[in-house]
Amino acid sequence: MIDLDFQLQRGPFTLDVSLSSDSRVTGLIGPSGGGKTSLIMALIGILKPSRGSIGIRGQHEFFNSARGVNLPIEKRRLGVVFQENLLFPHLNVKENLLFGYKRTDPALRRLQPEEIFELLDLGTQLDRGVGNLSGGEQRRVAIGRALLTSPCLLLLDEPLTGLDVNLRDRILAYLLRLKKELSIPMIYASHSFNDISTVADSVALLTVETNEHNRKHSRVSRLGHPLDILSEAAKVVSIGSIETVIEGEIVSTNPLTGHSVVHSEGLEMYVSPDNKTPGSRCYVTIRADDIIISVGEPPKLSSLNVWAGTIKAFENFQNTVVVTIDVGHRIRAALTEESVRELGLAEGMKVHAIVKAKSLRTVVLGSKES
Amino acid sequence: MHDSEISAITLSLLMGFCSVALNLVPGVATAWIFSRCTFRGKALLETFVFLPLVIPPVVTGYFLIRIFNQQSLVGAILNRLDVQVVFTWTGMAVAGAVMSFALLVRTVRGVLDEINPRLEQAARSLGYSPLRTFFKVTLPLAWPGIVAGSVLCFARTLGEFGATVMISAGTAGNRTIPLEIFHHYQTPGHETEMMRLVVVSIAISSAALVVSEMLIARLGATRYRPHHGG
């Protein structure tokens, strides 16, 4: 779908990109200053490659040095969410959201304002000025503004950077909602493996080499499933804590303990959300480091979440092993190599995954930002 | 107030407005080019534009006479079109405009420099051509600065003496407020007339300054402030 094959020169910095991806969400991971933003700028048309081609297969050719094609920015129909949001300070939320929509040919409008206002829960914010929006609200307006041009591709440059953990979970949940509800392919650039592995279907890894003349050479070295490139990514970026995000519905709340039960396709999760309205859709984040694995039937535990499942895969990086367990959903647990050896874990083995309700983070979309 | 004083005030205000009218579009365009473009010879062009700020106004006035007199090429062409510049109020308006152009460019350029050019890139990515981006993003964000620059341009023209006296010769009916003040100053027994014009002059300039400050404060309030985090 996305076809990139180009070289970009900027002073002592060279970026070589050869990347072809059919994924709904293609991740782009690399260290800060590794050329992620340059790659996005070349796609948008702000930076001009020295040679090569940029396009969407069978639909658009944005740049082709051999054929002398170089579409101006405004003709490329790419939705861009910039790192700094770049909302227009002289316009209110609604005017910002409709800024690009107004310039979009009515025949090409596939997304309608009401739909986007609802998806991003912006309906009640439309008359506000953008200067006093919270960080998360600004990001949502930036995403909505880009989507309302009905772009053929949505580019997200570090969309979760600079947000605290609550807002990060929230924006991540919105991105997962967009991925599920809309058919627009996305490129997601980030230096956080965790964010990318949660949203992206495949990930391209950007690596940087500095030669003896202090010239930096960046290239896309591999495209693969997020976990397949884990060990290579670990050499380039810090992996942090890997997470699994599961969408579900709050079915009941115990007023004594304050715990709510969330159902998602047969998986039952005990969580303690801020908003406990039964029937609400929510996104539950499970940190790989918080999961305990038990072989055989676990004894009586204080932990509420005890899920039976089957081990599906192992990925090693540094001293850590990421174990994928199917408990109705595929969740990831991080263990040390010693634990894996001592427990004798192997693919296909029946185990229990255990995690405290308090360790699970929950976002209910539509509720107020905290 | 005497007719000559009324005429001086009218002429000054007329010159001020003409100067702003002549300078506004080229001034904003020049400021935009200085702020957004890089090209060979830019530093030279900037020096040329800002020169009238530093060289003595009388010298600028002398050059204007040399450019517009009937023996010069420009003067000959204008003469064919029946336009007289030297010793007319047209010439005085041109002198005022030339003397205040740099001030307008400087003010507007400062404002344009403060507008994040990435906002313009964002507009482009939303389907706006460079020209449309200028009118929908750059201009609305810069307008308080443009108005403030125009006020300064107006006030500068009002106070212009050196170049104006060269091109108007300071004859009766051809005197702006500063020229009229100087005329009364040189005439014994005209202290009252002089003082009246001094007060009027201060009043007009103060009003212009207040308007300018108000607009700059307003610009400060609407300037883009990036937000990070909650």
**The residue type at B44:** L
Residue B224 pLDDT > 50: no
B122 vs A46: CA distance, rounded Å: 10
Residue A67 touches partner B, C-beta closer than 8 Å: no
Q: If you measure CA to CA, which chain B residue comes closest to A142?
A: B122
Provide the pLDDT for residue B229: 35
Chain-chain contact of A138 with B227 (C-beta, under 8 angstroms): yes
Residue B131 touches partner A, C-beta closer than 8 Å: no
For residues B50, B156, B24, B111, the Cα torsion angle rounded to the nearest 10 degrees is 70
Domain boundaries, chain B: 3-222
Provide the pLDDT for residue A288: 93
Long-range contact set of residues B201-209: C-beta below 8 Å, sequence gap at least 24: B201/B158, B201/B159, B201/B177, B204/B12, B204/B13, B204/B155, B204/B158, B204/B177, B205/B155, B205/B158, B205/B159, B208/B151, B208/B152, B208/B154, B208/B155, B208/B158, B209/B151, B209/B155
| Architecture of the domain made up of B3-222 | Orthogonal Bundle (1.10)
A135 vs A150: CA distance, rounded Å: 24
Structure tokens at A265: 């396709």
**B85-128 confidence digits (pLDDT tens):** 888 888 889 999 999 999 999 999 999 999 999 999 999 999 99
Provide the pLDDT for residue B118: 94
Chain-chain contact of A131 with B225 (C-beta, under 8 angstroms): yes
Provide the pLDDT for residue B223: 47
Residue B224 touches partner A, C-beta closer than 8 Å: yes
Residue B227 pLDDT > 80: no
Give residues with Cβ within 8 angstroms of B207, minimum separation 6. Answer: none
Nearest 5°: the CA angle A198, A200, A204 is 125
Provide the pLDDT for residue B170: 76
Q: Collect all residues of chain A within an 8 Å Cβ-Cβ radius of residue B120.
A: none
Pairing of strands A186-190, A153-157: parallel
Provide the pLDDT for residue A34: 84
**A174-184 confidence digits (pLDDT tens):** 999 999 989 89
Q: Collect all residues of chain A within an 8 Å Cβ-Cβ radius of residue B124.
A: 45, 72-74
The DSSP 8-state label assigned to residue A369 in this structure reads: P
Chain-chain contact of A135 with B228 (C-beta, under 8 angstroms): yes
Question: Hey, what domains does chain A have and what are their CATH numbers?
Answer: 2-236 (3.40.50.300), 243-364 (2.40.50.100)
Provide the pLDDT for residue A359: 92
**B10-23 confidence digits (pLDDT tens):** 999 999 999 999 99
**B206-218 confidence digits (pLDDT tens):** 988 888 788 767 7
Provide the pLDDT for residue B127: 95
Q: Collect all residues of chain B within an 8 Å Cβ-Cβ radius of residue A152.
A: none
Residue B62 pLDDT > 70: yes
Task: Walk along chain A (370 residues) and give the pLDDT tens digit of each residue.
Answer: 889 999 999 888 999 999 999 999 999 998 888 889 999 999 999 999 999 999 998 788 999 999 999 999 999 999 999 999 999 999 999 999 999 999 999 999 999 999 999 889 999 999 999 988 988 899 999 999 999 999 999 999 999 988 888 889 989 999 999 999 898 999 999 988 888 999 999 999 998 888 888 888 888 877 888 888 888 888 888 888 899 999 999 998 888 888 899 999 889 999 987 767 888 889 999 999 999 999 988 888 888 899 999 999 999 888 899 999 999 999 999 999 999 999 999 999 999 999 999 999 999 887 666 5
pLDDT band at B220 (very low <50, low <70, confident <90, very high): low
Residue B144 pLDDT > 90: no
